[in-house]
Structure 1
Amino acid sequence: MFKLGDLFEISTPKKRFDANKVNILKSGVYPYIVRTGSCNGQKGFINESEDYLNEGNTISFGQDTATMFYQEKPYFTGDKIKILTAKFDGFNKYNAWFFMSSMKKGFYSFSWGTSSFSVDIIKEQKLNLPVINDGLIDFGFINYFVAELGAERIAELEVYLAVAGLKDYNLTQNEQQALDIYNDLIFDEFKIVDVFDIKNTANILSSDVKENSGNTPYLCASSENNGVKTYISYDKKYLEKGNCIFIGGKTFVVSYQENDFYSNDSHNLILYLRNKSARNKFVQFFLSSCINKSLGGKYSWGIVSVIKKYRMIDFYYPPGVIIRTFLTCLI
């Protein structure tokens, strides 16, 4: 067993950049790392003084979420991020995966919260690592093990692609055209209430339904299975019309619902596209992504109260004609 503090120097970033006070770009030179659990912790790029860059070949650690990612290149950070710098030679992105896997297992038993991941606790966290006879870390095995895993996954992917008939990696003319169109898309700003009619769903408690009692989807705010918890038979007066965008009111999970459904919570929202001629699943798949991208970083829990209070909330998407042209190339 090894203490994390014996293997890594745990430091505070040179400067913390508040997400609400910086201009976050979609592309740039230096990434902006926050506590999110996706995209390698990267929220985007920012242009700030290089004096405040953190070194690459380090691990970014979300102090109140225990999210951790290997950062190969120099980067800026948001609030409550710690920098883990290896005290030993030979640290790289490959063995970093092994170390982080062991770290995640160690932190799994902790509850969520800043106090759980104070610097002192981080330092004392113990890791299970392979060793050689003299008790030193067996880096040879770690590097070999990670390389073997990578080769195994590539081999499995090659077999799957061959069986599925997907060995041809060349884009079709339509696919290439769709990419060309997307690269040139200009996203305009729209008021969400100008594009959608918005309403709250009915409220049907899970204790009042019998699971698998029918064929109608019963939706919750989960991100799994397109929000469908089960299928039920229930009073038709609570039935919601499908062909709409559904937002989990307390989780901001955005999904397209093709069929009529029941909902578990009146905090959930239904968005009906006002332009009925464009109300098909492909356009609404696209708009769901636009809503999630535009609002997901600003609002999470409690999105319903936000939309109720600020009916003029904005989101971004390309003009309708361009959407149809883009989707036509993919369908």
Structure 2
Amino acid sequence: MNASLNEKLGTVKWGEFKYKEVFNRIEQGRRLKKDDQIDGTIPFVMSGTTNAGVVNYISNPVASFPKNAITIDIFGNTFYRNYAFGAGDDTGVYWNDATAYSSNAMLFFAVAMQKSMMGRFSYGKKLRSSQSEDFTMHLPVTDDGAIDFDFMESFIAELEAERVAELSAYLTVSGLDNYELSSEEESVLKNFQSLKWDTYNLEKLFGKATRGKRLKGDDRIAGTLPFVTAGEASEGISAYISNEVEVFEKNTTTIDMFGSAKYRNYKYGADDHVAVVHTEAVPMKAAIFVTSACHKAAHTGKFDYGHNFYAKDADALDIQLPTKDGKPDYDTMTALISAVQKLVIKDVVLYADRKIEKAKTITKH
């Protein structure tokens, strides 16, 4: 956040407001077991931060909460929802159907609420929405003590403009702002169904996988080297260390104890629950394709806490890859990943462009 925004936060007047003073509707979701969920288009929200708590898209006749609402789960994780959704019984929903708050105001509320509940709830002490009505949050106020909606509106708009400008700069520097497909990329997408595939053994392609070494949490010394362990949070990076450990090269693939594969475009260390597949010599985008093939072959539910995936399992792993003249077709893999990347990033680039143009219009006025 730039200096001017920090200064604004430091000079504005603040007041304390109960949740029930801001929202006239505070409700709890309803239980819907996973086995009872029917595939559909309704986002279904439960506790957790992955995918902002959206665990499935359903068609069950559940209570539909309106867009422009805020959810808080049993652990205090708070999200603003700009779409209609269903919610499980571990999620509270907050909105006001008497006053149409703007999306920027709701975003400000969500941050203030998250801050007010930080560290207060856990598995041993879970939050229910009915308990939160008298909880308080701090909000900007006018001289007469009313919520300063004008301040919140301008602050969120300015913060968004700042973040979008940073995103646009990153896309330009990284070359991701070019989303036009080349003729080769268009061709490989068009002919995807006719590609030839073959089965390849990882050890025969890349040599023996390497197993990381155990490094207890208490023994880790803070530093700058990413240290990879099993898990999905932060792509498995559990710490940044300065310990003398084996450093694995970038452009390699890790497969953790559960069979979850991830591509690494940076040097890193790894613990004993991680196998490293040495794809260093493969072109980067082809290596990303190989990682996806590894994940599909290994992350099947076969491996868990009782049956870990190890380096020897990586050596025995067979994966499906596009093939040409009896060898992996890395050129096709590269073109496929490049095309998919452009298709995915296109909406992001167009979003950034629209937001920047909107910000320019506002600035002119």
Question: Is 1:92 the counterpart of 2:93 in the alignment?
Answer: no
Question: Is 1:320 the counterpart of 2:327 in the alignment?
Answer: no
Give the Cα separation in 2 of the matches to 1:243 and 1:154: 29
Give the Cα separation in 1 of the matches to 2:82 and 2:99: 15
**Offset at residue 103 of structure 1 (A):** 0.9
**Offset at residue 195 of structure 1 (A):** 6.6
C-alpha spacing 1:155/1:319, structure 2 compared with 1 (3 Å): closer
SS of aligned partner of 1:245: strand
Question: Is 1:32 the counterpart of 2:44 in the alignment?
Answer: yes
Whichever residue aligns with residue 327 of structure 1, its letter is T
Whichever residue aligns with residue 256 of structure 1, its letter is Y
Whichever residue aligns with residue 36 of structure 1, its letter is G
**Offset at residue 40 of structure 1 (A):** 3.5
Give the Cα separation in 2 of the matches to 1:257 and 1:108: 32
**Offset at residue 52 of structure 1 (A):** 2.9
* Partner of residue 256, structure 1: 263
* Partner of residue 127, structure 1: 137
Give the Cα separation in 2 of the matches to 1:146 and 1:283: 40
Give the Cα separation in 2 of the matches to 1:93 and 1:297: 40
Question: Is 1:285 the counterpart of 2:288 in the alignment?
Answer: yes
C-alpha spacing 1:272/1:159, structure 2 compared with 1 (3 Å): closer
Q: Residues 185-224 of structure 1, C-alpha deviation per residue, up to 9 Å, x if partnerless? A: 89xxxxxxx97679893644358989699xx986545837
* Partner of residue 351, structure 2: none
Question: Is 1:177 the counterpart of 2:189 in the alignment?
Answer: no
Q: Residues 202-256 of structure 1, C-alpha deviation per residue, up to 9 Å, x if partnerless? A: 644358989699xx9865458379667446656xxx9999976324549x87533
**Offset at residue 323 of structure 1 (A):** 8.2
Match of 1:53 among 44, 64, 69: 64
* Partner of residue 270, structure 1: 275
Q: For structure 1, which runs of at least 5 residues remain unmatched after alignment?
A: 187-193, 312-316
SS of aligned partner of 1:52: coil
Whichever residue aligns with residue 114 of structure 2, its letter is K
Give the Cα separation in 1 of the matches to 2:148 and 2:185: 47
SS of aligned partner of 1:145: helix
Q: For structure 2, which runs of at least 5 residues remain unmatched after alignment?
A: 1-15, 195-199, 314-318, 324-328, 340-365
SS of aligned partner of 2:152: helix
Q: Residues 150-170 of structure 1, C-alpha deviation per residue, up to 9 Å, x if partnerless? A: 2343445556667x4969655
Measured on the aligned residues, the alpha-carbon RMSD in Å equals: 5.1
SS of aligned partner of 1:90: coil
**Offset at residue 97 of structure 1 (A):** 0.9
Whichever residue aligns with residue 148 of structure 2, its letter is D
Match of 1:201 among 179, 198, 211: 211
Q: Residues 54-104 of structure 1, C-alpha deviation per residue, up to 9 Å, x if partnerless? A: 2222112222x3222222232122341111122651323221110011111
C-alpha spacing 1:205/1:23, structure 2 compared with 1 (3 Å): same
Normalising by structure 2, we get a TM-score of: 0.60
* Partner of residue 189, structure 1: none
Match of 1:246 among 246, 249, 254: 254
C-alpha spacing 1:207/1:32, structure 2 compared with 1 (3 Å): closer
* Partner of residue 42, structure 1: 54
**Offset at residue 127 of structure 1 (A):** 0.6
* Partner of residue 4, structure 1: 19
* Partner of residue 106, structure 1: 116
Normalising by structure 1, we get a TM-score of: 0.65
SS of aligned partner of 1:29: strand
SS of aligned partner of 1:127: strand
Question: Is 1:68 the counterpart of 2:74 in the alignment?
Answer: no
**Offset at residue 7 of structure 1 (A):** 1.8
Give the Cα separation in 2 of the matches to 1:185 and 1:31: 31
SS of aligned partner of 1:128: strand
Give the Cα separation in 2 of the matches to 1:129 and 1:217: 38
Give the Cα separation in 1 of the matches to 2:130 and 2:85: 24
**Offset at residue 11 of structure 1 (A):** 0.7
CA contact (8 A) 2:93 2:129 kept: no
Count of paired positions: 300
Question: Is 1:223 the counterpart of 2:240 in the alignment?
Answer: no
Q: Residues 7-48 of structure 1, C-alpha deviation per residue, up to 9 Å, x if partnerless? A: 2222122x4322343244xxx532222323143432342122
Whichever residue aligns with residue 275 of structure 2, its letter is I
SS of aligned partner of 1:205: coil
Tell me whether 37-46 or 96-105 shows the greater mean CA deviation: 37-46
